[in-house]
Chains A and B, each alone.
Chain A
Amino acid sequence: MTGNILVVDDDADLRETLQALLDDSGYGVTAVANGKAALDKLRTGARPSLILLDLMMPEMNGWQFLERARADEVLDAIPVVIMTARRKGTDLLPAPSRDILHKPFDTKQLLHTIALYAATS
């Protein structure tokens, strides 16, 4: 299984940073700016092995995205790692395939968490 990661974050710099870093680490990366764009991408593109999700985003935020994903059997099966500055967020983890990265996280923590769900190509 090759690791394709869908990065969903409205912060363009963080999106670009994550894309470069994950790309360097051997993952295939697609990045979009909000939950709505992520749903569009998931409907048309290939299924990623992991979604890296920000919470606070315009148009469709992370909570709304998770709600939509939960209602769709195929989408619900994709592991999601939530990136958040909140310390607690366990209410967002109904499934075992959901994880949390607390901001600020470093490269080591990021790669460690991602490796639990996606293999490098």
Chain B
Amino acid sequence: MPSDEARISERVLQHIAEIGTGECSITDASIAAEGDPSAQEILAGLLMLHEDLQYSQERHSALLDELRGAIRARDEFLSVASHELRTPITTLGLQIDGLFRMLQQHVPQGQQDTLSRRLEVTRRQVDRLAALVGALIDVSRITSGRVQLSRQLADLVEVIRLVLERFGDEALRGGSALQFARRGPVWGNFDVSRVDQVFTNLLSNAIRYGRGKPIVVGACSAGEMARFWVEDQGIGIPPEHQGRIFQQYERAAPSTSYAGLGLGLWISRQLVEAMGGTISVHSEVNAGSVFTVEIPRNG
């Protein structure tokens, strides 16, 4: 049986209960509990807990501010660094163009081949560097919500044809024949450079993962939508990985065997969604993958 001294009055209990609902402060309850040692003890404990909680909340919000600051600093750095890299890439590219020109003008025909091949390799590497830097810039634009589309009337078939022309050599080097199944023209209001970018990403993936096997690409109208797809007969993607390949930094293929930043499909999806469209994959391990994009024709 508790002694009389240990019993807390109903009034003080009521105050303590009201602390929980915020109707009474711990200080007010302490004043009400003057001369009641048991209640004072409980309230002292509560005060300590309250101060701990307050400290935790302050710490939590300070950490959150710090984290937000760090993310902002990272994004700013990414943006500045990737833009900064574009100047040396420009100089390198122009120098290579100049060297090609000098080669054709000043080196005898019979000696041009080796030099020309080495310059081609250099140019390809500069192009690759430019593409990687471009991906970083896209990441910084997308994460800060700065993707802007500029649409114009264009034929999707023609956009794709130009990319195929650009990729002819690379596909050949990878041993893949390119086949274009078109039902067109497919006219619409498209952001041509973004559509080019998405298709380029899908095609270069197909060339990378479908090495030595034919690649079929296609384009057609589907009602209000324009559809294009890239089909390879490569390594394929296991069902359990198909959901995450469109996420940032995610890749289904081992990074120890295949180069890349793991950003291409994420960027593609973000761009396609910004255009009001969808991107999907159908794939079977060791049989290949089909990536399909649908975008509104009058976006």
Residues of A within 8 A of B (CB): 11, 13-14, 17-18, 20-21, 24, 83, 85-88, 103-107, 110
| A104 with B98: CB separation less than 8 A | no
Is the CB–CB distance between A17 and B95 below 8 Å?
A: yes
Specify which of A21, A83, A103 is in contact with B98 (CB 8 Å cutoff).
A21
Within the complex, what minimum Cβ distance (angstroms) separates B228 from chain A?
A: 24
**Cβ distance A88 to chain B, nearest Cβ, rounded Å:** 7
From known contacts A85-B84, A86-B83, A88-B148, infer whether A103 and B90 are also in contact, taking CB-CB under 8 Å: yes
Is B93 within 8 A of A106, CB to CB? yes
Closest to B134 in A: A104
Instruction: Mark contacts of B76-103 with chain A using CB atoms, 8 A cut-off: 1 yes-contact digit, 0 otherwise.
Output: 0000000110111111011101100100
Contact across chains for B98 and A11 when beta carbons are under 8 A apart: no
B130 at interface by CB-CB < 8 Å: yes
Cα–Cα, bound, A103→B83 (Å): 9
Are A21's CB and B87's CB within 8 A? no
Q: How far is the CB of A16 from chain B (nearest CB, A)?
A: 9
Asked if B91 and A85 sit within 8 Å, CB to CB, the answer is no
Which of B83, B88, B98 meets A107, CB within 8 Å? B98
Shortest A24–chain B CB gap in Å is 7
Q: Is the CB of B94 within 8 A of A103?
A: no
Give bound CA distance, A4 to B141, whole Å.
37
The 8 Å CB contact of B86, one of A24, A85, A106, A107, is A85
Query: Chain A residue with minimal CB distance to B95?
Result: A17
CB distance A85 to B83 under 8 Å? yes
For B98, the chain A residues whose CB sits under 8 A away are 17, 20-21, 24, 107
* Chain B residues, CB < 8 A from A85: 83-84, 86-87
Closest beta carbon of chain B to A34's beta carbon, Å? 15
Check B90–A104 contact: CB distance below 8 A.
Answer: yes
Q: Report the bound CA distance from A11 to B90 in whole Å.
A: 11
Contacts of B97 in A (CB 8 A): 21, 106-107
**Most interface-central of A18, A24, A104, A106 (chain B CB within 10 A):** A104
Residues of B within 8 A of A104 (CB): 86, 89-90, 93, 130
Query: Min CB distance, A86 to chain B, in Å?
Result: 7
A92 CB, min distance to chain B CBs, angstroms: 16
| A-side contacts of B91, CB under 8 Å | 11, 13-14, 17
Given contacts A17-B95, A86-B83, 11 further A-B contacts (CB under 8 A): A14-B90, A17-B94, A21-B98, A85-B87, A87-B141, A103-B89, A104-B89, A105-B90, A106-B93, A106-B97, A107-B94
What's the minimum C-beta distance from A105 to chain B, rounded to whole angstroms?
A: 6
- Neighbour of A11 across the interface among B87, B95, B130, B148, CB < 8 A: B87
Q: How far is the CA of A109 from the CA of B90 in the complex (A)?
A: 12
Give the distance to chain B from A60, nearest Cβ to Cβ, in Å.
Answer: 18
Q: Which A residues are CB-close (under 8 A) to B141?
A: 87
Most chain-A Cβ atoms within 10 A of its Cβ — which of B91, B97, B98, B141?
B91
A43 to B90, CA, bound (A): 30
Q: Which residue of A lies closest to B193 (CB)?
A: A87
User: Hey, which chain B residues are within 8 Å of A83, CB to CB?
Assistant: 90
